[in-house]
Structure 1
Amino acid sequence: MAKPSGTRRGRARLRTIALIGIDGSGKTTQAHRLADALTAAGRPARYRRNASGRRWLGRLAHRLGRPDAQRLVGRDGMLAVESVLRWLAIAIALLSCLLTGRTAVMDRYSACQYASIRAHGGHRWERLARAGYRFFPTPQVTFLLAVDPQEAYRRIELRGTDHETMTWLTAADTAYRALPEYPTFVLVDASRSAEEVTEQIQAHLATWLPPAAHPSRPSETPAPPSDARPPSDATLSVPTAGEWAVRAVAGPLVAQARP
């Protein structure tokens, strides 16, 4: 079992960072920004998108006259395809970053598959998925981008490249909060502007990166001493879908330690 740790391990290199959350939470935008910021700070990083292929399956279903992927291959078939494709994407991403020595900035990770399975009601598949994904290292930091499903729905409709229902987004939001790993996630208020979300993420990583390498400018974020602990008010709680209003709560910054 991975044990959460709130302290930076000296100058240990960040190997894997994951950004997870429901569709429309801004994962892709923030993962790209983080990879660029780390690289510019002297910590070479690479963006990796670990998609499950659900969007591709949905487009294929439409071409074949079916309303969605589930109607094309069935729920179990869709979950099986998702799990396999995401497993392959993560495996390739980890291998590539291992060979190049770059930090892997993961746009989605195994927790996304577990949440998808739960949101689809295919709980028996979760045990199989966890058995297959257990070979992957736990990211040193996993950011959960928390956003109101209604706001996520608005963003998805605005970008116009795909479509999600409010029912699905609400179920996915609930699924993320119900995962056993949820207490170890670093919660980020993704309902704010993209710039503010970027600042939140970089402020969290300042406790892991050496002072000369963290992505924030020195004038904005003082470099923490080598034995510094994360700020006590850095974590956010996510209310239920009916109460959605992200708020700051006291608690240590939680970063996942590698198993």
Structure 2
Amino acid sequence: MARSLWERRGKARLRAVALIGIDGSGKTTQAHHLAEALTAAGRPATYHRNAGGRRWLGRLAQRLGRPDAERLVGRRGLLAVESLLRWLAIAAALLSCVVTGRTAVMDRYSACQYASIRAHGGQRWERLARAGYWMFPLPQVTFLLAVDPAEAYRRIERRGTDHETMSWLTAADTAYRTLPEFPTFVVVDAGRPPEEVARQIQDHLAAWLPAEQPAPAGQPAVGDPVPAGEPAPGGLVRGDAADRGAGRRLAAQARP
């Protein structure tokens, strides 16, 4: 049912993009940037955070005097809660995409659950999870944000909102790379500055954006240089701020 509804929307439209990777790889930051850039380019998009509740359970565990979520609910309990919460989040995101016609930018997807299960050593649970998630269509593009576990650990410690061990991050990194879906992922070097990561992601999606159209006589063509401070085609204003570069790159592909 979900597949037929999805396919009825048409195969040419960019329906969903997923960003996956270990904690600290920058998924949430890049997913927000991508949703904003696609919308600015004429492809209305919505950010969806398909979390499994592991971070929330970890905080609850610490408040209750337990070191982590697994010690609170057990390995089986953690995998069951993660799988259920992520399933519900993805289902809601896909339904929203079908109803609104907007592109769904997924911060985590089913592959994240499979990787989490593998990192916990629960291969039998992975088979059950795949049976439960089979109805979800694959995103047209899945970006794996690859970062060295040591760098991911430093980022997590800097943000100070949660904690992960090096052993877990290393196991999760290995899990992603051993998934059968790995050859279909677009691997992005997430160890580089965020603006460079965003540029690589958006450049890869350029083919999904509307074709460039000739500009009316007397107006600059889309993509032509525009003086700073003056409106560019599509209503954008060219400036020097780095955080607006992503929107301009994608907007240059949109119809004026």
TM over 0.5: yes
Structure 2 counterpart of 1:115 = 115
**Distance of 1:189 and 1:211 partners within structure 2:** 28
Q: Tell me if the contact between 2:117 and 2:125 (Cα under 8 Å) persists in the aligned partners.
A: yes
Letter in 1 for 2:161: T
**Deviation, structure 1 residue 12:** 1.3
Q: Tell me if the contact between 1:45 and 1:103 (Cα under 8 Å) persists in the aligned partners.
A: yes
Structure 1 counterpart of 2:243 = none
**Deviation, structure 1 residue 192:** 0.3
- Equivalent residue of 2:98, what SS? helix
Structure 1 counterpart of 2:206 = 206
Give the fraction of aligned pairs with identical amino acids, expressed as a percent.
81
Aligned residues: 208
Q: Over residues 16-37 of structure 1, what are the superposed CA-to-partner deviations in whole Å (9 max), with x where a residue is unaligned? A: 1000000000000000000000
Q: Tell me if the contact between 2:153 and 2:169 (Cα under 8 Å) persists in the aligned partners.
A: yes
Q: Tell me if the contact between 2:43 and 2:209 (Cα under 8 Å) persists in the aligned partners.
A: no
Letter in 1 for 2:106: M
Q: Which has the higher helix share?
A: 2
- Whether 2:157 is the aligned partner of 1:165: answer no
Q: What TM-score, normalized to structure 2?
A: 0.79
Q: Tell me if the contact between 1:19 and 1:109 (Cα under 8 Å) persists in the aligned partners.
A: yes
Q: Tell me if the contact between 2:59 and 2:162 (Cα under 8 Å) persists in the aligned partners.
A: no
**Deviation, structure 1 residue 60:** 1.2
Deviates more, 1:177-186 or 1:57-66: 57-66
**Distance of 2:78 and 2:154 partners within structure 1:** 25
- Whether 2:57 is the aligned partner of 1:57: answer yes
Q: Tell me if the contact between 2:41 and 2:209 (Cα under 8 Å) persists in the aligned partners.
A: no
RMSD, aligned CA: 1.7
**Deviation, structure 1 residue 207:** 2.3
Q: Tell me if the contact between 1:17 and 1:104 (Cα under 8 Å) persists in the aligned partners.
A: yes
Structure 2 counterpart of 1:130 = 130
Structure 2 counterpart of 1:218 = 223
Structure 2 counterpart of 1:149 = 149
**Distance of 2:18 and 2:72 partners within structure 1:** 30
The runs of at least 4 consecutive aligned structure 1 residues that moved more than 4 Å come to none
- Equivalent residue of 2:66, what SS? coil
Structure 2 counterpart of 1:244 = none
Q: Please list every run of 5 or more consecutive structure 1 residues that lacks an aligned counterpart in the other structure.
A: 1-9, 221-259
**Deviation, structure 1 residue 64:** 1.4
